[in-house]
Amino acid sequence: MSHRIVLATRNAKKLAELDRLLSSAGLDVQILGSDAFKDLPEIDETGQTFAENALIKAREVCQHTSLPAIADDSGLCVDALDGSPGVFSARWAGESANDENNLDLVLEQIVDVPDGQRGAYFACAAALVMPDGREFLVSGQVNGQLLRQRSGTGGFGYDPIFVPDGYSVTTAQMSAQEKDAISHRGQAMRELVPLLVQALGDPSL
For 74, phi then psi, to 5°, come to: -145, 165
Sign of the CA dihedral with 39 first, then 3, 67, and 74 last: negative
Residue 49: alpha-carbon gap to chain centroid: 13
Q: Which of 65, 55, 56, 74 is nearest to 31 (CA)?
A: 65
- The rounded distance, in Å, linking the Cα atoms of 18 and 5 is 11
- The rounded distance, in Å, linking the Cα atoms of 14 and 11 is 5
Q: Is 175 helix (H, G, I), strand (E, B) or coil?
A: coil
- Based on its alpha-carbon atoms, the radius of gyration of the chain, rounded to whole angstroms, reads 17
| 179 contacts 11 by C-beta, under 8 angstroms | no
- Could you give the count of Cα atoms lying within 13 Å of 179 in the half-sphere of its Cβ? 24
| 110 contacts 118 by C-beta, under 8 angstroms | yes
- Asked if 39 is an active-site residue, the reply is no
Of the residues 19, 35, 39, 73, only one is catalytic, namely 73
Q: Point out the residues that are catalytic.
A: 73
